[in-house]
Amino acid sequence: MKRQRKVIETSRTWVVFLLGLFLLRNSVFAAVGTGNPTDLRADSLTDPLGIDAPKPLLSWRLQDDRSGAKQTAYEIFVYSKRPTAIEAKPDVWDSGRVASSTSTGVSYGGPELEPEKRYFWRVRLWDKDGKPYPISDISWWETGLLSPSNWRGKWIGYEPPELHRIRESGALWITNSASESSEPHDTQHDFRFAFPVDRPVQSASLYATGADTTAAWINGRQVLQAQPLTPWQQMPWGTYTRVDVTRSLHSGANLLAIGVTRFLTARQKQVPTRTPMSACLFIAFTDGSSELFTSGVTGWKAALQAPDGWWREDFSDASWEAAEPYVPAPGGFDGRTGLPWPTGPVAALRRNFREDQAIVSARLYATALGAYKFRINGEPVGDQILAPGWTDYRQRVLYQVYDVTLRIKQGNNAIAAYLAPGWYSTPLRWFRQGNNYGNTQPALRAQLRLEHADGSVDWIATDENWKADLSPILQAELYDGETLDARKVQDGWDTANFSDAHWHPVMLVHPNEPRIVAQYFQPIRAERVISARAITNPSPGVYVFDFGQNMSALPRLRVRGVRGDDIKLRFAEVLNSDGTLYVENLRTAKATDHFILAGSKTSEDFQPEFTFHGFRYAEISGLRDRPTIDTLKAVVLHTNAPFTTRFSTGNSMVNQLWSNILWGQRSNFVGVPTDCPQRDERLGWSADAQVFWRTASYNMDLSAFSRKYAADLRGTQVGTAMYGIFAPGVDTPNPFYGAAWSDAGVIVPWTGWIQTGDRRIIDENWDGMEKYLAEIGAKNPNHLWQNGFGAAFGDWLTPTTTTPEDLLATAYWAYDVSLMKQMALATGRTAEEERYGTLFGEIKSAFEKAYVRADGFVGTVDHYPSIPPPTVHPDEGSQDQDQVVETQTGYVLALYMNLVPDDLRPAAAQKLVELIKNNHWRLGTGFLGTPYLLEVLADTGYSDVAYRLLLSREYPSWGYVIDHGGTTTWERWNGDQMLHDPSMNSFNHYAYGAVGEWLYRYAAGVDTVSSNPGFHTIYLHPNFDARLGNLSFDDESAYGAIHSEWTVQGSQATWKVTIPPNATAVLSPHATNAASFHLKGVPLERSELHTDSSGRFELPAGSYTFTATLTSPGSASSGSMIK
């Protein structure tokens, strides 16, 4: 009995002990707040499939609605398999408990990652009292291939034999011999080539082009008409024009004559006496043979200004000289040449394979020199548009990873793809020169990984075993549009039952091997589908759909008709007065889609795969019946980074402005941040990007996309220290750079860091930024950027006086240096921080001496650019007699970039206001001055003037654009008045949308600081204004949701603000305003808020309601921005 009692007591002891352990163990995981960590991300992406980072950066958000909630420590667990229990021990990495409030950019610190493997992870946090939160849910990331050696696929492609032969022909750009220059005028450059035809001809095609416009004759018969000079005085001569010349040939001797006209334009002082021309004549004979004649130095003759009739067979060219190879002048622009090869129909590629075992996992790794779209067993793979996206394909190409496990079946399977030119072959420069990235046709590279239940793996890779044919997509070009002939669709071509016996072997492609990296940012995806608001019928058979919004989109067409009907779609931003499309501002971009019907008994659907358009209006013709609202929809697309901001006010115009800013970003963030989405440009212009990047980083989570664009900018430094004026670049070495444009190479990484706190973007770009600034310094030892500032774009499209380029360039140089000092401090580069601090002082001192006077004047003598600017600093009264240039932008840049002595800032700000007043209270700034104008005014005590400019509806202003129908910001302040000049008149340009930064940082008052970036510390300085009435702002920052909301009634403002958990805020009112701010009815200095060492009020996480008395009838600011 005693023994039994002892056993029972012992058992009870163990039960109590185990229960205690259980309770103790569960106390570790017991909830003390309102939830577990959430929004787990690896490399800024949620559950990313296929990343190549050797040490991904991990982040999360704290969920805790208690006041002052804060993370004091974290512990990260990484597993090789999904854990099934909370207490599962991590078998890859355990960070251990790390005392830190950081929840972004935490580097994985475990062993080397394996390729093609999924890793699972979660995080545990401790609160401000040292108590644990519930552990997070499981998240994961999956590695990509990690190394080039893991690529099994070969580059494959296909193009028609005729085009392939032309591509490999070695046709030269040729010209006439040099001659004496004469009075400027249009010049005619003439070429003749005799060739035999000794067999019956099946078909013949002439491919020709030249700068600026080209005409051609065969045997005296004109086969190609020269185009007139365009209104924008640029000609699309960089790609071959094809014409059918079969009927112009005859047996025996034949003559090909080509005339090229070079126009004298306002851009040129004198037309060169030599100009480039290239041509190919392809002849297919009835016996199956063919012959190709190409431009070269053998057999071709050339002359300048030949007499009339020179194209006839009986004309004597005995006095003509042999044509010469064309070599553009060093640093030239108008005569630069590329590879003129045309693109053919989109290629269709496929292969069958058999899989006898059950599949537990299937991954497709895919990339292209061009654009691709995969299908497996008749189903599409992924929802990306224009993959793999735009990079400089000579340097790096992105690849994507797709989970296709559910697409694979046991038995016979088929994998297929369309392969289009994309950005690889599309003409990307002003003169429509294609093939900028290589001499090969588009190429596909892919491999399918099939993992079985027993762990074995099969691979299906692109190689010579694939088959190819031409797809029904006859043309797919980014600027010109897409043509689909539904009659040529081969049903079931992407299924295993399809017979490809009549298809062709693929072509193995051998490009200069680029670096292939996993995509590490969000792809281009469709966001929404929009219906038209109205349909009009401006002319018989022509219908115009008004979608009510300028955007980047694809048409989605549903029609019925007869086989062979050609449904034509055109696109435009605005209309002519008669209701027809205004397309002149598209310049050479045709922006036209064709859908040729198969003649189905049911409706037929069309949505382009490999183009996109910028438009509000779409015109449709070729229909047999009147369209309905369901006939045509618009599919909005953009880089799919999540939107993070909501904003509204009591002013309808400002609300529309915010909408315009967002739609401008949507429209132009399509793989790269472009200037415009509609015309024959669409380049990643760097000044547009850098002035807008902070606004953009509020609107969207750009933590990943910022790294991508910074890498594009870095790529333009190959062969040079200078960043390009747009990125990705198309030339190596990059010949084009410019002050404020090239500075994006520094400003974008800085913005990416300060908005997210991710220091990796600094480290990735540090060497390039240093190289760039060292080059400027080497050319300008006097610390004024007067030499080598490249393309002098200046304050682009300013409506008033142009700001001198040297003043502008020097200001940007100084600004770059100040940002480098901040980034050096953030990354522990102590010596560099000191060096850049010293350099900034030297540039500032030189700037003050050159451009600042003792009365606060900022400007320069109107001498530019012939001599260096004189010193106009204290007591140089003699300079008052000189004609000087002072501009709003000059003051804005000098004040914003901290180049005016502190004691002169009030005087300089007053002079800026005087300039605005003398301009009838209108802004006078372009792309570079506008972004910072309102900020400078608010910082220097003129918030009322900032609001006056914001709310103006007179030209030039944001309100003017809105009142004249703008649904995005325009390139010009007066685009509606410039329809007669389409050379530079986009109605969808985001640069002037940079005012969004002021709306968020100043009007709403939500800002971040370099000492604790990424909104870990939030700097609050709202600018209240009775004219707005009220404002509400929400931002999903890296640390959580921030809310700022205020209402003004009379002279009283009520302001509500919410600080997310694990973040703090500081409020720094002007000393004169401090007493007017109350919290819970108590003045701030007597409130519950603590102050830091600088006297700023600290706000822990939580929600607060303040009241304030406005110090002026119009508006009041809570404080100046701390630079």
* Catalytic residue numbers, as ranges: 681, 971
* 424 closest CA partner among 354, 467, 358, 476: 476
Which H or E element spans position 1097?
strand 1097-1099
* 106 closest CA partner among 34, 58, 36: 58
The answer for residues whose C-beta is within 8 angstroms of residue 99's C-beta and 6 or more apart is 72, 73
- Give CA–CA dist 461/155, Å, rounded: 10
Q: Is the dihedral of CA 16, 21, 24, 26 positive or negative?
A: negative
Residue 831, φ and ψ in degrees, nearest 5: -65, -40
Lookup: tokens for 924:
């006078």
* 792 closest CA partner among 753, 826, 854, 742: 742
CB 536 within 8 A of CB 587: no
Residue 1120, φ and ψ in degrees, nearest 5: -85, 150
The answer for residues whose C-beta is within 8 angstroms of residue 481's C-beta and 6 or more apart is 475, 569, 590, 591, 592, 593, 594, 608, 611, 613
- Give CA–CA dist 949/942, Å, rounded: 11
Q: Is the dihedral of CA 571, 572, 575, 580 positive or negative?
A: negative
The answer for residues whose C-beta is within 8 angstroms of residue 741's C-beta and 6 or more apart is 685, 686, 687, 723, 724, 725, 726, 790, 791, 793
Lookup: tokens for 244:
């059918």
The amino acid at 19: L
Tally of CB atoms within 10 A around 1081: 8
Using the CB atoms, write b or e for 776-786: b if 16+ within 10 Å: bbeebeebbbb
Lookup: tokens for 554:
């694809």
- Give CA–CA dist 96/456, Å, rounded: 35
Lookup: tokens for 1068:
């720094």
CA quadruple 798, 573, 613, 639: dihedral, nearest 10:
60
- Give CA–CA dist 336/330, Å, rounded: 9
Rg (CA), the chain: 33
**Half-sphere exposure (CA, 13 Å, Cβ side) for 897?**
33
Which H or E element spans position 752?
helix 744-756
SS3 (DSSP) at 1047: strand
